[in-house]
Chain A
Amino acid sequence: MKSLDEPEDKVTEELDGKAKLRKWLNMNFRIEMTDGRILIGVFLCTDRDANIILGACSEYSKNSDGEPEEPRVLGLVMVPGRHIVSIQIDDTAPPQKYYYED
Chain B
Amino acid sequence: MDSLGTSPEVTYNWVDITTDFFSHIQDLQLGELLHDGHLFGLFEAMSAIEMMDPKMDAGMLCNRGNPKPLNFQQALACGKLKVDDLEPGEIIGVIDATMACIVSWLEGHSLAQTVLTNIYLHQPHLIGNKTLKAYCIAVYKLLDCIRDCINKAQVFEEEDFLPMCYGYRLGSNPQSGSNYDASLEVTEQKCIAMLKEQEEDLNKKAKSIDDEANNAWAGVAARIRFTRMFYQALFLITKRDSQSGVDCVALLNGCSETMKVIIKTAEKGTQPEENSDAPNPMGFEPMINQRLLPPTFPRYTKIKPRSEALLYFDELVTRLRLAWKITSCTNFHVALDFFMEFSRQRACILSRSALQLLYLSPSPASMASQTVHSSTSVQARPHHLFIEILRESVKSFVNPAMPTAKSGSVGSIQVREYVDNFLARCVRPFAVLLQVCGHNRARQRDKLGLLLDELAALQEEANNVDEVVSSANGTATRACFNTWILYHVLRVMIAYLLSGLELELYSVHEYHYIFWYLYEFLYGWLVSALARAEALSAEPTRKTEKRGGARKLKKRARPNMRESLICQVMQNMCGGYYKALVAFKLQGKIRQPMSQFDNEAVRYKHRFAPLAVISPPQVHYHEFCEMTQPLQYENPVLLYVAGYKHFQQARNLLETITTPDQEVQDLLKVAKTNFIVLKLLADGHKKDSTLPPDFDFSAHRHFPIIKIA
Are B51 and A39 touching (Cβ within 8 A)?
yes
B44 within 8 A of A: yes
Return the CB mask of B6-32 against A: 1 if under 8 Å, else 0: 100001111111101111111111111
Are A76 and B51 touching (Cβ within 8 A)?
no
Are B295 and A74 touching (Cβ within 8 A)?
yes
Partner of A92, one of B13, B40, B44: B13
Are B68 and A83 touching (Cβ within 8 A)?
no
- For B4, what are the chain A residues with a Cβ–Cβ distance below 8 Å? 38, 60, 68
- For B442, what are the chain A residues with a Cβ–Cβ distance below 8 Å? none
Cα A13 to Cα B5 in complex, Å, equals 37
- For B15, what are the chain A residues with a Cβ–Cβ distance below 8 Å? 1, 88-91
Q: How far is the CB of B608 from chain A (nearest CB, A)?
A: 39
The residue in chain A whose Cβ has the minimal distance to the Cβ of B66 is A64
The residue in chain A whose Cβ has the minimal distance to the Cβ of B44 is A76
Q: Given known contacts A45-B34, A64-B68, A88-B17, is B23 in contact with A83 (CB within 8 Å)?
A: no
From 337 to 376 in chain B, residues with beta carbon under 8 angstroms from any chain A beta carbon are none
Q: Sort chain B's interface into a size bin.
A: 35 or more
Q: How far is the CB of A69 from chain B (nearest CB, A)?
A: 8
- For B24, what are the chain A residues with a Cβ–Cβ distance below 8 Å? 17-18, 20-21
Are A45 and B14 touching (Cβ within 8 A)?
no
- For B21, what are the chain A residues with a Cβ–Cβ distance below 8 Å? 21, 50, 87
Are A47 and B34 touching (Cβ within 8 A)?
yes
- For A40, what are the chain B residues with a Cβ–Cβ distance below 8 Å? 3, 6, 12
**Inter-chain CB contacts under 8 Å: number:** 160
Q: How far is the CB of A88 from chain B (nearest CB, A)?
A: 4
Partner of B52, one of A16, A44, A83, A89: A83
- For B405, what are the chain A residues with a Cβ–Cβ distance below 8 Å? none
- For B45, what are the chain A residues with a Cβ–Cβ distance below 8 Å? 45, 53, 78
Are A44 and B35 touching (Cβ within 8 A)?
yes
- For A68, what are the chain B residues with a Cβ–Cβ distance below 8 Å? 4-5
Cα A71 to Cα B5 in complex, Å, equals 8
* Secondary structure of the B contact surface, majority rule: loop
Are A46 and B47 touching (Cβ within 8 A)?
no
Cα A61 to Cα B57 in complex, Å, equals 13
Are A92 and B28 touching (Cβ within 8 A)?
no
Partner of A53, one of B14, B48, B66: B48
- For B167, what are the chain A residues with a Cβ–Cβ distance below 8 Å? none
Are B25 and A50 touching (Cβ within 8 A)?
yes
B50 within 8 A of A: yes
- For B58, what are the chain A residues with a Cβ–Cβ distance below 8 Å? 72
Cα A35 to Cα B64 in complex, Å, equals 12
- For A64, what are the chain B residues with a Cβ–Cβ distance below 8 Å? 66-68
Are B13 and A91 touching (Cβ within 8 A)?
yes
- For A47, what are the chain B residues with a Cβ–Cβ distance below 8 Å? 25, 28, 31-34
Return the CB mask of B314-325 against A: 1 if under 8 Å, else 0: 000000000000
Cα A14 to Cα B25 in complex, Å, equals 10
Cα A78 to Cα B1 in complex, Å, equals 25
B61 within 8 A of A: yes
Cα A13 to Cα B22 in complex, Å, equals 14
B59 within 8 A of A: yes
Return the CB mask of B268-296 against A: 1 if under 8 Å, else 0: 00000000000000000000000000011
Q: What are 18 inter-chain pairs, A to B, with CB distance below 8 A?
A: A17-B27, A18-B24, A21-B28, A35-B60, A46-B35, A48-B29, A48-B32, A64-B67, A72-B295, A77-B48, A80-B52, A88-B1, A88-B15, A88-B16, A89-B14, A90-B13, A91-B13, A92-B11
